[in-house]
Structure 1
Amino acid sequence: MKENEELKRRVLDLANRCYQQNIYTFSGFLNAAEVSDVYTMERELDFVPWKLFGGTEGCERQMLRFGSEETLGYEEEFPISCVVIRPSAPKFAEDLSHRDFLGALMNLGIERDVLGDIIVRDAAGYVFCEDTMAAYLAEHITQVRHTSMTT
């Protein structure tokens, strides 16, 4: 319950900052439960436009943006990048799962709220993250499980 109240306080703070300073404000990536909590706050947030987006359609983890082109006079994209992590030698790569990619990222000491969804397809991991983390990930993610990786 305490986490829920903390989320509500943080969301209202972002909404108020957007409204008072006439700037776009963004949350970190929210998990599915937090996204659900945001939807329960619709009445409290009706004074400012907001949108949820995770980098592509159907993402479970999403970032919350306050502001719109109509109210602020310009459009600002979500600060989300997609880092593609592939095996250096696909022929010798292990069969990697979402859990393997997430474990490698957590091992770098990265907070979960700067990471969005991780989509695993054809031995590659597509990691949605905040723009500020993209270069760090590209440089430091060199191995997932026992498989050498490249970005």
Structure 2
Amino acid sequence: MEIYQHFRKEEHPFIDQVLAWRDDVEMRYQRKLTDFLNPREQLILQTIMGNNPDLVYGFSGGAEGAERKRAIIAPEYEIIEQDDFQLTLLEATYADKFITLEHRDVLGAFMSLGVKREKLGDLVVQDGVVHIVAGAEISDFIKMNLTGIKKANVDFIEKPMAELMESKETWSTKETTVSSLRLDVLTKEIYGMSRKKARMHVEAGHVKVNHRVVEDTSFLLEEGDLISLKGKGRSRLEEVRGQTKKDKFRVTTSTLN
């Protein structure tokens, strides 16, 4: 099928999943609510759905600028409402004067409970407060079972989605040219290091693309890819704006401050 030509081989299983969702909704006339999708998965779903006249679809992660979102695919005559995404905002507080918690600490606590990342949306940790957007189907499990993160005792309670904290993290954007879209080249450019050092980080498993470790230095990045380097934070390839006369790529990248 032509759709596969536009995406990486390792993304084909997710493409198959989206195609199955689409076909099932068309056949059964019953909507499909997905787990949380990362930006790349959202792009794939949008591409596959296209302008299908028989179906409608939408995304929500609880806030306008949410990174991770659930999707709904429905027959074209249905109206998708915000409540249909079945999102719950959970809040816990801790004494940040005595304990320091980071994003990875909180996410690790969820993973240790056996909660799949796909059931969790965006996570904000700041000023002694933890906010997590979760699928409503697992909110009771979290409230009952997640009572500690590192040395902090926590008690998660449900809050109105309108109270979701806006993260103080900001993204800085940069326009530049690169010789290729290889992972080692973009890692070098984004994080300001030699290409040799970038290759070492990739080969050592320190670099993730869309939350998956990639150890292939020649891995080609595409628009929307989220990159993270251990100890150096997250970045994103926002746009590929064509090539120069010398065959270099004009790109826009952003880095989380």
- Structure 2, unmatched stretches of 5+, are 1-7, 157-257
Aligned to 2:240: none
Q: Which residue of 1 aligns with 2:107?
A: 102
In the alignment, what sits opposite 1:5? Answer: 12
Q: In the alignment, does 2:135 pair up with 1:144?
A: no
| Cα displacement (A) at 1:85 | 2.0
Aligned to 1:16: 23
Specify the alignment match of 1:120 in structure 2: 125
User: Are the structure 2 counterparts of residues 77 and 34 from structure 1 closer, same or farther at C-alpha, using a change threshold of 3 Å?
Assistant: same
Match for 2:69: what amino acid? Q
| 8 Å contact kept, 1:83–1:134 | yes
**C-alpha separation between the residues in 2 aligned to 1:3 and 1:129?**
27
Aligned to 1:85: 92
Report if the CA contact (8 A) 1:80-1:128 is conserved.
yes
Task: State the SS of the aligned residue for 1:40.
Answer: helix
**Structure with more helix by fraction:** 1
Q: CA RMSD in A?
A: 2.2
1:71 aligns with one of 68, 71, 77: 77
The 4+ residue runs of structure 1 with deviation greater than 4 A are 73-76
2:78 is aligned with what amino acid? L
Q: What are the ranges of 5 or more consecutive residues in structure 1 without an aligned counterpart?
A: none
1:95 Cα offset (Å): 2.1
Contact 2:96 2:128 in 1 (8 A): no
Per-residue deviation, 1:60: 0.6
CA contact (8 A) 1:30 1:63 kept: yes
Distance 2:131 2:138 in 1: 14
Amino acid of the residue matched to residue 126 of structure 1? H
Structure with max Cα Rg:
2
The corresponding residue for 2:38 is 31
Which has the bigger relative contact order, CA under 8 A and spacing at least 6?
A: 1
User: Cα distance 1:73–1:113, how it changes in 2: closer, same or farther (>3 A)?
Assistant: closer
Cα deviation for residue 119 of structure 1 reads: 1.5
Residue 18 of structure 1 deviates from its aligned partner by 2.0
Q: Between the two proteins, what is the percent identity of the paired residues?
A: 24
Q: Secondary structure at the match of 2:77?
A: helix
**Structure 1 residue matching 2:154: 3-state secondary structure:** strand
**Distance in structure 2 (CA, Å) of the matches to 1:130 and 1:86:** 20
Q: Which amino acid aligns with 1:62?
A: K
Which string of whole-angstrom CA distances, capped at 9 and with x for unpartnered residues, describes residues 3-36 of structure 1? 4111111112222222222222111111122122
